[in-house]
Each structure stands twice: as C-alpha cells, then as structure tokens.
C-alpha cells in the first residue's frame, strides 16, 4: 500500500540507483515532499548532465500535455533525464497522466510534488502510479512525534540533545518541520567547535525560549498542581506576550487534557497501556498522563476542556469579552488548579 512507503524507503532506493519512472509525492506535510524532490535533483545526475537533462517547473506555468511531452523525451548524453514539477496540485486534468503511465519513458524520472492535499486513492490514476512508480503520502506529524524528529534530525548531524530541550523546541516551533529544521540548523551553527550536545541553555540563548518559563514547564506545574510555579509562569507570559502567545498555550493545554481524557479509557492503565491508547511511540511518553490521572478526576478533566474552549473563544473576542489575554490565562489556570 502507498501509505507503507516511507521517506527513508524512497531515499534508500534513490541512493541505490533503484530509480522509478514516476514519484508522486503528495500530502499535508511539505517538508518530506521537498526533501525527496531535492535529493533526486541533487544526486541522480552529474553536474555536467543537469543543464540539458534536468527540468524543474511549477504547476502554474505548465499544463499536463507539456509535462507528458517533456517526460517522453530522451536524455542527451546521459542515462536519465529528471523532470520535477513543483506545486503539481495547480495543474488541471491530471487524470490524463494515466495515458503516459501505460508506457512511461524508462529513461525519465518524473517527480510530481502535490502539496496540501492528496488525490482520490479510488481513482484509476492512483492504481496506475502504483503499478510503475511511487505514490508517497506525506502526512502531518503528530505533536507527540515532534521531539523524536528533533532528536533524529540532530543525530544525523552527529549532535545530541537533552530530552527536555527537544520537547522545548517541539513546543515552541510546533509541527512545521521546515521551520523546525531551520531553527535546528541555527542551533547547530551556534555550537562551538567541540560542542556536540544541545541543552536548554543553548535554546534560551539562541532561540529566545526561556528554559524555566515555557509551555512545558506550565504543563508540568499543572500536572503536579504546583500553584506557585504555575502562577509565576503565567505572570512571565503576561509580561512577554510576543514570545508566549496565548493561542499556543491554549493549544498545548487542549491537546494535553484531551489526551488525558482518552487515557482514562485505556484498558490497562500503566505506561504501556496508555501509550497504546494514545498512539504514543514510546511507553515513557505516557508518564505525564499517569501522574495527571492521580491528580485529576475524569469529571474535572471534562470541565477543564470546557474551560479551555471558553478561554479560547474569549481570547478571540467572541462574546464581547474585554478581559486581557493575560487575565484570561490567569483565570483559566486558577480553574484548572482548584
């Protein structure tokens, strides 16, 4: 099935010269679409072959007939030609590609980048792509997977990172992997020659996130009902609204307490059982939910989720509420803790 093909599978195949006539790269996560297209553009042809045999165009500038005509050409003084169409979602009548796929040019590597959506997998085009090439669905990464992405990204660069620092980056940047990788590159550049480990101090100095006053620390304070710490963080957020927007905080709180509500329905209420219930990759990621379950009842969590929704609405001006975002968050944290 198409969803079983991973980014790593495709990169490995290209690296081993196991080229396919077509790579249809689609999905909500543009990061992996761009990475695969760039890898093919960088590695398949030698530099002296690219001038005549590598074509990169955009969907707004070409039609399906031109794409097919270009793909049917033979390479010049090269074994392959590479044709990359970016923003392929802007091309009309893409179903006509099926005619080309019945007999694709074996010396052409056609890369189609279809972003911000997927094609209907029930269509004939989907089956035709899978018969001769690669159909890759680049799905948005879940929030719980982002810290692991951070660690893996840095590991490939021979850099280690503290687990808390990885969580901090994930919370601050979110699931935009292109932006996240850019911020990680900034951190790598900031390291001195002999440094091989990124800490929370590095992030505070170079990214502008406080290691003590952030959404992760607020979540931890709420989990353990540390009233003093929670209120200190809320005050810091109120004093620094640009780097601590309330919408980011509310999103974090809503995701956590929504997952906590689901955790109560886990058949086995240990780390392994809750991790399985929530779809977490590692059992240790369920530790915070277990701790919170000892502090909050299911009914209280339902009320908290309702309070977060009301706070979110008020922060957007719904209901004519004139309370500042700082006071809204302070009131919400009070309700959560009491």
DSSP state letters, 38-80: HHHHHHSS-HHHHHHHEEEEEGGG--HHHHHHHHTSPPSSSS-
The CATH number of the domain where 202 resides is what?
A: 1.10.8.60
pLDDT, greater one: 281 or 1: 281
288 and 262 in a single domain? The answer is: yes
Supply the angle between the helices 227-239 and 325-337 in degrees, to the nearest 10: 170
- The CA distance from 85 to 122, in Å, is 23
What pLDDT, on a 0 to 100 scale, did the predictor assign at position 2? 43
85 and 122 in a single domain? The answer is: yes
Is residue 21 included in any domain, yes or no?
yes
Average pLDDT, integer, range 295-321:
90
What pLDDT, on a 0 to 100 scale, did the predictor assign at position 75? 95
Quick: pLDDT tens for 223-273.
Answer: 999 999 999 999 999 998 888 889 889 988 999 999 999 999 999 989 899
Q: How sure is the predictor about 133, in pLDDT bands with cuts at 50, 70 and 90?
A: very high
pLDDT, greater one: 178 or 173: 178
What pLDDT, on a 0 to 100 scale, did the predictor assign at position 174? 79
What pLDDT, on a 0 to 100 scale, did the predictor assign at position 141? 84
333 and 281 in a single domain? The answer is: yes
Average pLDDT, integer, range 160-176:
86
The CATH number of the domain where 9 resides is what?
A: 3.40.50.300
Mean pLDDT of the chain: 91
Is residue 214 included in any domain, yes or no?
no
Average pLDDT, integer, range 179-203:
89
60 and 124 in a single domain? The answer is: yes
176 and 296 in a single domain? The answer is: no
243 and 130 in a single domain? The answer is: no
Query: Residue 1 pLDDT more than 80?
Result: no
Decide which of 115, 137, 159 is a domain's last residue: 137
244 and 330 in a single domain? The answer is: yes
Quick: pLDDT tens for 94-132.
Answer: 999 999 999 999 999 999 999 999 998 888 999 999 999
127 and 6 in a single domain? The answer is: yes
Decide which of 206, 235, 254 is a domain's last residue: 206
Quick: pLDDT tens for 69-94.
Answer: 999 999 999 999 999 999 999 999 99
Strands (E), the chain: 22-27, 54-58, 81-86, 108-115, 134-137, 160-161, 197-198
Is residue 25 included in any domain, yes or no?
yes
Is residue 220 included in any domain, yes or no?
no
51 and 73 in a single domain? The answer is: yes
Is residue 218 included in any domain, yes or no?
no
Is residue 219 included in any domain, yes or no?
no
Q: How sure is the predictor about 320, in pLDDT bands with cuts at 50, 70 and 90?
A: low
Q: What is the domain count for the chain?
A: 3
252 and 197 in a single domain? The answer is: no
195 and 253 in a single domain? The answer is: no
292 and 175 in a single domain? The answer is: no
pTM, full prediction: 0.71
Lowest average pLDDT, out of 73-77, 182-186, 208-212, goes to: 208-212
Local structure of residue 145 (DSSP, 8 states): G
Is residue 211 included in any domain, yes or no?
no
Is residue 217 included in any domain, yes or no?
no
For residue 147, the enclosing domain spans: 143-206
């Amino acid at each position: 099935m198409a969803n079983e093909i991973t980014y790593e599978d495709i990169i490995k195949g290209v690296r081993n010269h196991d080229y396919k006539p077509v790579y249809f790269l689609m999905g909500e996560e543009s990061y992996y679409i761009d990475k695969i297209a760039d890898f093919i553009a960088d590695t398949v042809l030698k530099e002296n072959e690219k001038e005549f045999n590598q074509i990169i165009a955009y969907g707004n500038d070409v039609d399906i007939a031109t794409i097919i005509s270009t793909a049917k050409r033979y390479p010049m003084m090269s074994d392959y030609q590479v044709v990359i169409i970016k923003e392929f979602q802007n091309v009309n009548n893409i179903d006509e590609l099926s005619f080309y796929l019945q007999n694709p040019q074996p010396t052409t590597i056609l890369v189609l980048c279809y972003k911000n959506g997927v094609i209907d997998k029930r269509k004939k085009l989907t089956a035709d792509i899978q018969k001769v090439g690669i159909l890759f669905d680049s799905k948005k990464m879940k929030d719980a997977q982002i810290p692991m992405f951070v660690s893996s990204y840095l590991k490939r660069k021979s850099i280690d990172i503290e687990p808390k620092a990885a969580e901090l980056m994930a919370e601050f940047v979110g699931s935009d992997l292109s932006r996240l990788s850019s911020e990680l590159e900034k951190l790598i550049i900031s390291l001195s020659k002999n440094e091989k480990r990124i800490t929370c101090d590095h992030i505070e100095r170079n990214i502008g996130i406080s290691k003590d006053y952030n959404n992760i620390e607020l979540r931890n304070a709420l989990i353990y009902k540390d009233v003093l710490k929670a209120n200190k963080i809320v005050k810091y957020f109120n004093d620094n609204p640009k780097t601590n927007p309330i919408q980011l905080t509310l999103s974090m709180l809503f995701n956590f307490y929504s997952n906590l509500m689901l955790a109560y329905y886990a058949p086995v209420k240990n780390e392994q059982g809750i991790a399985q219930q929530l779809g977490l990759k590692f059992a240790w990621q369920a530790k915070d939910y277990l701790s919170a379950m000892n502090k909050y009842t299911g009914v209280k969590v339902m009320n908290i989720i309702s309070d977060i929704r009301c706070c979110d609405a008020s922060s957007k001006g719904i209901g004519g509420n004139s309370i500042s975002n700082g006071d809204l968050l302070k009131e919400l944290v009070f309700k959560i803790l009491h």
